[in-house]
Amino acid sequence: MDAAQVENIASQYLPSRWHYYYARSKLATDPLYAAVVEALAGTHAPLLDLGCGMGLLAHCCRACGVAFSYHGVDNDIAKIELARAAAARAGLSACRFDTLDLAQGMPAHQGSVALLDVLQFLPPERMAVLIAQAAACITDSGRLVIRTGLQDASWRTRVTKAADWFSRAIRWMNAAPRAYPTNAFLHEHLRAHGLEASFSPLWGNTPFNNWLVVARRSTAIPRANPGIAPSPAPAG
């Protein structure tokens, strides 16, 4: 996205200067949204955005000409209200936002699913269940797009955890991080549910250990493999 598109999206969050500047700097510095839009390009499958925050992804998809119906859910009611107001201001059609706690469940859906910077806030035992439920939603043309910090021994992992704790301390996040998945955990669970995944680093100029995981349904893998009992999510 160019500077004018970034400015246009950020201005949908006015009159709150804080949200305007947050959106502007996030869009200008984080490679996340461009990478997700690229991963979703070519599919018209409806998108369910789990833990959608203030709904930036919906604006980016529209700005980049990627068209599908969009449903964002988040357990932070203030962010959902912000997302609704900005979407209405921007005239985003085929777009809705609802409050929902992913620790309790997720909406029925068929198409694509985005899970961006959310997994670490879920109870560890819920992570595997949510991935299974998200995988079951993915249609033949759909994608499951995950951005997450991965648990490994790198300094980036330590910085990622510190930043998530800082976001909680300043009350930008309504939850503290619980646990981060490992590469092997995600591979195993996605495969167990019939999805083939590619992993690529997505930290851009940031110091975080962020990875983009793009998973598609694979005809080479059975849709669900009850014979595999994937390992539990890693603890903190």
> Is residue 52 close enough to count as binding ligand SAM by CB under 6 A?
yes
* Chain position whose Cβ is nearest to ligand SAM: 53
Q: Are strands 95-99 and 47-50 parallel, antiparallel or unpaired?
A: unpaired
Contact call for residue 79 and ligand SAM (CB under 6 A): yes
Which amino acid, 193?
A: H
Contact with ligand SAM (CB under 6 A) among 121, 180, 208, 211: 121
| Integer Cα distance of 212 and 218 in angstroms | 18
**32 and 60 in contact (C-beta within 8 Å)?**
no
Site for ligand SAM in 137-156 (CB under 6 A): none
Helices (H), 30-120: 32-40, 56-63, 77-90
- Kindly determine how many residues on this chain lie close enough to bind ligand SAM according to the rule CB under 6 A: 18
With H, G, I as helix, E, B as strand and everything else as coil, classify residue 126.
helix
Of 194 and 215, nearer to ligand SAM (C-beta) is 215
Stretch that binds ligand SAM, among 48-56, 155-163, 186-194, 216-224 (CB under 6 A): 48-56
CB 82 within 8 A of CB 13: yes
Residue 189: what residue type?
H
Exposure of 112 in the CB half-sphere (CA atoms within 13 A): 28
Please tell me whether residue 86 binds ligand SAM under the rule CB under 6 A.
no
Task: Give yes or no for residue 83 binding ligand SAM (CB under 6 A).
Answer: no
Distance CA 80, CA 33 (A): 18
Q: Taking CB under 6 A as the rule, does residue 81 contact ligand SAM? A: no
Q: Rank residues 9 and 197 by Cβ distance to ligand SAM and give the closer one.
A: 9
Q: Which of 82, 95, 117, 142 binds ligand SAM (CB under 6 A)?
A: 117
What is the contact surface with ligand SAM in residues (CB under 6 A)?
51-53, 56, 74-76, 79, 101-103, 116-118, 121-122, 174-175
